[in-house]
Amino acid sequence: VESEQCVEHEAELDWFCGTEQKLICSHCAIVGSCHAHTVTPVATRVTALVDVCEKMQLQALRIERFIEQTLTAKEQNLQANRAREQVLAQVGAAREALEEEEQRLLEEVQREEERVEQCLLTQRAHWNQALSTLSQTRSRLVHTLTHTPDAQLVEEAEGVGEPCDTNILNLNPNCSDSKLLRGLWAAALLLGPNYGSSYLKFDERTVSPHLSLSEDFCTLTFLRKKPRQPQPYDPARFDHWPNALGSVSMSSGTHSWVVDVGQSAAFKVGVCYASLERKGSGNEARLGYNSESWVLSHYDGDYSFCHAGKKVPLQVVKKPQRIGLLLDWTTQTLMFYEPDSCAVLYSFTEQFSAPLLPACAVTHQSITILH
């Protein structure tokens, strides 16, 4: 095929004018109308266009490979993953379990209310009858005092009996107790957006001479030997048991803190009243052995909840490295939990009569309040 020629110069169109976007001859490029324009040899432009085409072809291959391999794999993985369905299924299962637990607890509470109501009705009827009997006996006493032996009158009066308050007349508080709800309540509180742990430290005035306190007031370390230099006397200091109390008093709201116990094989963590005895070797100053302290204890491989000298053994599958405490003053509930899994180790409800302080004891290595 013959090459096209320039009409003006009758020369081969072997140049390209980038300004006017057309083919031109060498005369047009050098001395003609396009001498001031951007011009390139056609061969050079063809080579450049071929390079561009090759690059576009390679890019097209990459795009096709991305579509066929990456996107297709992602789509297949998305279908297999079914994250939405998993979320709905898990939430549905939790909702179903919660609704069933709600129904069970409501039925239990209703049965307990009906039981107490029936007991109250029975007691009311009984003691109304007793009042009537006493009234009739008093009336007859006036008329028959001289005719009826004293012993018979006394027997009739004593036969009425004395009223007494019993637990069967009270609503059983355990009828609304649920491990599931406690766990959900704790998880919702601890994992919620407004959760923030209490910033606690140990009160150095309370630290036993058997313990050393770190400079940041967060770590207690057990001392095998008492320091040669005795600590100055302080009425707040424990002088025998290896105890220490926190610096924050709690009497309202919700409080939580975490203690690192991974290094220690013998410790206690919990709460106590500020009025707890500090001096002497008696149980009055020993955490968990009086009515003013509640602690989770670990000793000789065993875990237990201790209060007033009574121990509740705890089944712990794996030794926790950290123990969390959650105190809700509104519901008067204290919970011990494992922070990583939010598993509840033990919880109880108590009618606390005074503000509480965090309380700890350690007789092996050290424990630390975490922030």
Tell me the per-residue pLDDT of 328-362, one tens digit each, with 9 for 90 and over.
Answer: 898 899 999 998 887 889 999 999 999 999 999 99
Tell me the per-residue pLDDT of 200-209, one tens digit each, with 9 for 90 and over.
Answer: 999 999 999 9
Phi, psi angles (nearest 5°) of residue 300? 55, 35
Separation of alpha carbons 254 and 197, rounded Å: 9
Q: Are 182 and 331 in contact (CB under 8 A)?
A: no
Phi, psi angles (nearest 5°) of residue 270? 175, -145
Q: What is the domain partition of the chain in residue ranges?
A: 84-177, 195-370
Token pair listed for 238:
């424990």
- Among 62-66, 146-150, 318-322, the range scoring the smallest mean pLDDT is 146-150
What DSSP designation does 13 have?
A: -
Q: What is the pTM of this model?
A: 0.60
Report the pLDDT value the prediction gives residue 83, as an integer from 0 to 100.
64
Most confident of 107-111, 176-180, 192-196, 256-260: 256-260
Q: What value does the CA radius of gyration of the chain take, rounded to a whole number of Å?
A: 43
Report the pLDDT value the prediction gives residue 239, as an integer from 0 to 100.
93
Angle between helix axes 83-144 and 150-158 (nearest 10 degrees) is: 170
Q: Return the amino acid letter for 352.
A: F
Report the pLDDT value the prediction gives residue 311, as an integer from 0 to 100.
96
Report the pLDDT value the prediction gives residue 2, as an integer from 0 to 100.
46
**Maximum separation of any 2 CA atoms in the chain, in Å:** 163
Beta strand pairing status for 333-338 and 343-349? antiparallel
Tell me the per-residue pLDDT of 243-267, one tens digit each, with 9 for 90 and over.
Answer: 999 999 999 988 999 999 999 999 9
Q: Return the amino acid letter for 141.
A: L
Mean pLDDT of 265-271: 97
- Among 18-22, 48-52, 191-195, the range scoring the smallest mean pLDDT is 191-195
Rounded percentage of the chain residues whose pLDDT exceeds 70: 82
Residue 232 has pLDDT above 50, yes or no: yes
Q: Return the amino acid letter for 138.
A: R
Q: Classify 195-370 by CATH class.
A: mainly beta
Phi, psi angles (nearest 5°) of residue 312? -110, 110
